[in-house]
Structure 1
Amino acid sequence: MDEKQNAFQIDLADNVATALTLLVPGPVELRGDACAPEVQATTEVPVGHKIALRDIRSGEDIVKYGVVIGRATTDIPAGSWVHLHVMCSVYDQRSSHLDVRTGAPKDTKYE
């Protein structure tokens, strides 16, 4: 039997949830203050990263914890991975210069 995929929606106002397991395309059970019982993952989402609970348009706020944490830099389809490749932080301008997978700075060369 396959293990269930899970994500946690912190606040009803959130348009993203946090992956509690590695998410692959398919049904994801939502926990917490979930707006729905599940969402369909359309892309892989690493553990601890965000999944879009609905379509998010370019320029729209990314809401987590019931507060705006970032802004979409492109249209983000429901069920897809939400990270630095499709959003920018409203708290940390430098985050746009970090590698999406490793978090290492891309704007600094180490010799």
Structure 2
Amino acid sequence: MSETPHFVVHDEGDSVGVVVVEGVKAGQDLVGWIMDQDRTIHFTVKDDIPIGHKLAIRDIEADSTVIKYSVDIGRTISPIAQGEHLHVHNTKTKRW
């Protein structure tokens, strides 16, 4: 990989990536690394996102399953656009 990634994604079937650098700001062009396929993706982030937090790598409809590291981690409670912060304000666990 020739570009330093801002976020990583386990598999292209995932719906989110994890930010791996400090200081991601809304409007910034990001590079993501999809590890299993060893390829990069690019898009503009819509929100400030702290390191370690998730971002949508594609548009996700309301009441959809969220996949991270090839695992179901919850469901959306509102639509989430590519590049938006995915956190407790728009995603809930399915455990309870």
Query: What TM-score do the two structures reach when normalised by structure 2?
Result: 0.82
What corresponds to 1:19 in structure 2? 19
Question: What letter corresponds to residue 13 of structure 2 in structure 1?
Answer: A
The answer as to whether partners of 1:57 and 1:75 remain within 8 angstroms in 2 is: yes
What corresponds to 2:47 in structure 1? 43
Runs of 4+ in structure 1 displaced over 2 angstroms?
32-37
What corresponds to 1:52 in structure 2? 56
Query: What TM-score do the two structures reach when normalised by structure 1?
Result: 0.72
Query: By percentage of residues, which structure has more helix?
Result: 1
Matched-pair identity in %: 25
Structure 1: distance between partners of 2:79 and 2:46: 14
What runs of 5+ residues in structure 2 fail to find an aligned partner?
Answer: none
Higher relative contact order (CA 8 A, sep 6+): 2
Question: What letter corresponds to residue 63 of structure 1 in structure 2?
Answer: I
Q: Determine which structure has more spread, i.e. the larger CA radius of gyration.
A: 1
Structure 1: distance between partners of 2:20 and 2:53: 8
The answer as to whether partners of 1:15 and 1:62 remain within 8 angstroms in 2 is: yes
Structure 1: distance between partners of 2:94 and 2:40: 27
Match of 2:32 among 20, 30, 41: 30
The number of equivalent residue pairs is 89
Q: How far is 1:65 from its partner? A: 1.0
In angstroms, what is the RMSD of aligned CA positions?
A: 1.8
Structure 2: distance between partners of 1:14 and 1:74: 18
What corresponds to 2:77 in structure 1? 73
Q: How far is 1:90 from its partner? A: 2.1
Query: By percentage of residues, which structure has more strand?
Result: 2
What runs of 5+ residues in structure 1 fail to find an aligned partner?
Answer: 94-111
What corresponds to 2:86 in structure 1? 82
Question: What letter corresponds to residue 44 of structure 1 in structure 2?
Answer: D
